Chains A and B, each alone.
Chain A
Amino acid sequence: DQQVKQNSPSLSVQEGRISILNCDYTNSMFDYFLWYKKYPAEGPTFLISISSIKDKNEDGRFTVFLNKSAKHLSLHIVPSQPGDSAVYFCATFSGGYNKLIFGAGTRLAVHP
Chain B
Amino acid sequence: GAVVSQHPSWVICKSGTSVKIECRSLDFQATTMFWYRQFPKQSLMLMATSNEGSKATYEQGVEKDKFLINHASLTLSTLTVTSAHPEDSSFYICSARDHGRAYEQYFGPGTRLTVT
Q: Give chain A's interface residues, CB within 8 Å of chain B.
A: 32, 34, 36, 41-46, 49, 89, 93, 97-105
B102: chain A residues at CB < 8 Å are 97
Contact of B32 with A43 in the complex, beta carbons under 8 Å? no
B107/A44 in contact, CB under 8 A: yes
B113 within 8 A of A: no
Q: What 17 additional pairs, Cβ within 8 angstroms, besides A46-B105, A102-B43?
A: A41-B110, A43-B4, A43-B93, A43-B108, A43-B110, A44-B107, A49-B103, A89-B44, A93-B103, A97-B103, A99-B59, A100-B34, A100-B46, A100-B95, A100-B105, A102-B44, A103-B43
Q: Bin chain B's interface residue count.
A: 20 to 34
Instruction: Enumerate chain A residues within 8 angstroms of B108, measured Cβ to Cβ.
Output: 43
Which residue of chain B lies nearest to A91 when distances are taken between CB atoms in the complex?
B44
B38 to chain A, nearest CB (A): 9
B83 vs chain A, min Cβ distance (A): 26
- CB neighbors of A among B48-106 (8 A): 49, 59, 91, 93, 95, 102-106
Residue of chain A at shortest CB distance from B95: A43
**Contact A42–B46 (Cβ < 8 Å):** no
User: CA separation between A42 and B94, bound complex, in Å?
Assistant: 11
Q: How far is the CA of A102 from the CA of B106 in the complex (A)?
A: 15
With known contacts A32-B103, A97-B103, A98-B32, A41–B91 Cβ distance under 8 A: yes
Q: How far is the CB of B105 from chain A (nearest CB, A)?
A: 6
A41 touches B112 (CB 8 A): yes
B50 CB to nearest chain A CB (Å): 11
Q: How far is the CA of A46 from the CA of B42 in the complex (A)?
A: 18
Within the complex, the shortest CB–CB distance from A25 to chain B, in Å, comes to: 14
Hey, what's the 0/1 contact readout for B7-51 against A, CB within 8 Å counting as 1? 000000000000000000000000010100000001111100100
A43 touches B107 (CB 8 A): yes
Give the chain A neighbours of B91 by CB distance below 8 A.
41
- Find out whether the CB atom of B106 lies under 8 angstroms from the CB atom of A104: no
